[in-house]
Structure 1
């Protein structure tokens, strides 16, 4: 079957936005560290670090969020998926804002702000419409978190517009922590089906059933800690709140211990995402209570490690499921996880005095490993993402699914006669 690449990529949100997330995550930090030495060519009034945080949160993680929600929500709610032109409009809005972040030009803050708020507003409207039309509450939690993220984005961009770098950095920190709440929700949704497939590849049973009261424990505690942050609680109170949120993610990590199958890469990477998020928040809370390190390293441990490994896990797991491949990572994807994890440790632990600083320019080795991890994923998955035979309605895939269903029912496979 021959189809234009644009038609293939716009069949589902993950086909466009997962590669964009990988490219953004790989290249923007590498350019910032390796080429521009923590500066940006046209940054004047705003600190380059503000642009860097904006691009990681609303660039790389934003693209992953768009791809995840536009792919998963139709499955959760049995609603038509977004295809074609709406996805390209979303990609155009997202990409327009990223061009501003690549240069750091002050004159581009307003158009970048409008573009980011436009795609966030589109996601809000999409989630609200699906909820109303399908009369479901399955996406209500995501609707609330995306609304909070949109508010934080607007306040951060407003601070950037008036040249208040400190306020912008504060709201970007809030936005990053809100993304951790979204990570907790996503892990709760992804971990259960993945673990059940690992434990029973036939998918006839569901041996893994987490306690309902603990599924949303981590995002709930993050919401409480973010509320305390916005309310301006004392450093000590904030420290204990973040320690509690970190413990919630550690509880999420502990759910991965399901026996020998816990050593499967599909389970380990989800545990690692929760573990990095939990460790980072525990260290952030400890810093507020007087630990001998600043807050930057714990935030990187949580936002770069927890979100980074979480995004990479979703890219890999959803990328295989939605191209008809099933679970089972290749050696290249496993190497991608290892490179990303090593990068997080090299970026965070030396600043906390827990690891010697690597040789070479500051953070260059970490940036290279980070870029290598996401580019390795892209190289491994691009052939399937761009292949018309992996589309949901491709004749080859439909025939294969019908054959599998017939075989499981004991009926001869007519598709191959």
Structure 2
């Protein structure tokens, strides 16, 4: 009997290829855990193979298009079918995207310029494939609001292609500027995603029966943060002065902070899933405000401020999506399990350990530069993976785990 049951059980490859988040969230977590550790502890903030590009640019590229890139592929290929009520990509399509993503990571692992060209081509292909997929879904379901995700995804793809072209040409200045724009594009996309995810999650917390929808944010605020980030991007591209862009950064950060204020829905605001989504907005907003302050003459550089926004805002946002979607799409429900909560706390601690010493708020911890922050960051991702791998690697007990109401387009 046991042999028959074993023979009937799906293979791991079939299970992982059934949905985007199953295939891409685990490698995103592994890459997010290992890459900063390798760069800070083993590589000593350098790269194994020297080239034309500064190691810091390799590091930034790997975090944006490596860790966050895999998270993005998993989210888009999972959420868009939910929002449009269309069949989701499976099997060969997902594994092809995973192969392209993996080629890019091999190049980024050692920093070789020639491999970087191949990796850049692979990254460009999966970025364009995501844009085409969302565009095709919008054409098939024009009543679903997909313009904002498509716009930001298209901007991220364009920035990613230019970044890789700059790497191939050995133009460090262009690569530096375009990596910043790519990070801002990701923050704009994060603002759109948070607007769509926070509403159904908050309503689920407030009314687990799903009979009512007591949480309805002001519609004018839904696109405020992404819209102001777009203004910053346009100002960067136009080459406006540090003073002008500084004020624009502060304005965009304040819009993210407004999202934090909207999260106060009573005592339930202290539920881990709401706190996590709020912290993503808070770190994004605080980082953007500090970038603006730096450009207006504050006594610190933009580097820690950008880490607060991109490492903190994006990192906590990604891990929050991992934790919430990883439950709902595997036949489980809120609240978050204890390991996920601990992982989120550790990630926030890692961001503060990375940023506060450079801001002069904390003394530098012992050991190699940023090593303690990298270890804490890695532990956060690995704890999440330890807790969620049994969910992701086994078939759902019943249903898809994510009802239409929870992720319907009308919800966000």
Q: TM-score, normalised by structure 1?
A: 0.93
Distance, in Å, in 2 between the alignment partners of 1:355 and 1:243 is: 24
- Segment of structure 1 superposing worse, 276-285 or 328-337: 328-337
Alignment-derived partner of residue 397 in structure 1: 398
Distance, in Å, in 1 between the alignment partners of 2:141 and 2:275 is: 35
Distance, in Å, in 2 between the alignment partners of 1:28 and 1:4 is: 29
- Give yes or no for the alignment of 1:226 onto 2:227: no
3-state SS of paired residue (1:239): helix
Task: Note the 1:138-149 alignment, pairs <5 A.
Answer: 138-149=145-156
Alignment-derived partner of residue 345 in structure 2: 338
- Give yes or no for the alignment of 1:254 onto 2:254: no
Higher relative contact order, structure no. (Cα contacts within 8 Å, ≥ 6 residues apart): 2
- Segment of structure 1 superposing worse, 28-37 or 165-174: 165-174
Alignment-derived partner of residue 43 in structure 2: 36
Residues 77 and 138, structure 1, Cα contact 8 Å, conserved in 2: no
3-state SS of paired residue (1:397): coil
**Which string of whole-angstrom CA distances, capped at 9 and with x for unpartnered residues, describes residues 133-157 of structure 1?**
1223421111111111111111111
- Segment of structure 1 superposing worse, 303-312 or 160-169: 160-169
Distance, in Å, in 1 between the alignment partners of 2:299 and 2:331 is: 49
Task: Note the 1:233-272 alignment, pairs <5 A.
Answer: 233-272=240-279
Distance, in Å, in 2 between the alignment partners of 1:175 and 1:348 is: 21
Distance, in Å, in 1 between the alignment partners of 2:156 and 2:205 is: 33
Task: Note the 1:192-203 alignment, pairs <5 A.
Answer: 192-203=199-210
Residues 329 and 400, structure 2, Cα contact 8 Å, conserved in 1: no
Distance, in Å, in 2 between the alignment partners of 1:41 and 1:365 is: 21
- Give yes or no for the alignment of 1:304 onto 2:297: no
Distance, in Å, in 1 between the alignment partners of 2:402 and 2:328 is: 13
Q: 1:281 to 1:202 in 2, by over 3 A?
A: same
Alignment-derived partner of residue 409 in structure 1: none
Task: Note the 1:65-76 alignment, pairs <5 A.
Answer: 65-76=72-83
Distance, in Å, in 2 between the alignment partners of 1:283 and 1:104 is: 30
- The partner residue of 1:348 within 349, 355, 377 is 355
Q: 1:398 to 1:346 in 2, by over 3 A?
A: closer
Alignment-derived partner of residue 164 in structure 2: 157
Tell me by how many angstroms 1:400 deviates.
10
Distance, in Å, in 1 between the alignment partners of 2:142 and 2:179 is: 33
Distance, in Å, in 2 between the alignment partners of 1:215 and 1:358 is: 39
- The partner residue of 1:285 within 288, 292, 296 is 292
Distance, in Å, in 2 between the alignment partners of 1:338 and 1:97 is: 30
- Segment of structure 1 superposing worse, 69-78 or 135-144: 135-144
Q: Which runs of 5+ in 1 are unaligned?
A: 391-395, 403-417
**Which string of whole-angstrom CA distances, capped at 9 and with x for unpartnered residues, describes residues 186-236 of structure 1?**
100110000000000101000000011101111011011111011111100
Q: TM-score, normalised by structure 2?
A: 0.94
Distance, in Å, in 2 between the alignment partners of 1:272 and 1:134 is: 33
Q: Which runs of 5+ in 2 are unaligned?
A: 1-7, 404-412
The structure 1 segments of at least 4 consecutive aligned residues displaced by more than 6 Å after TM superposition are 399-402
Alignment-derived partner of residue 129 in structure 2: 122
- Give yes or no for the alignment of 1:80 onto 2:87: yes
3-state SS of paired residue (2:398): helix
- Give yes or no for the alignment of 1:132 onto 2:139: yes
- The partner residue of 2:333 within 326, 329, 335 is 326
Say how many residue pairs are matched.
396
- Segment of structure 1 superposing worse, 237-246 or 143-152: 143-152
3-state SS of paired residue (1:356): coil
Alignment-derived partner of residue 407 in structure 1: none
Residues 327 and 401, structure 2, Cα contact 8 Å, conserved in 1: no
Distance, in Å, in 2 between the alignment partners of 1:222 and 1:373 is: 28
Distance, in Å, in 2 between the alignment partners of 1:236 and 1:105 is: 37
Residues 329 and 402, structure 2, Cα contact 8 Å, conserved in 1: no
Residues 280 and 316, structure 2, Cα contact 8 Å, conserved in 1: yes
CA RMSD, Structure 1 to Structure 2 (Å): 1.4
Tell me by how many angstroms 1:44 deviates.
2.0
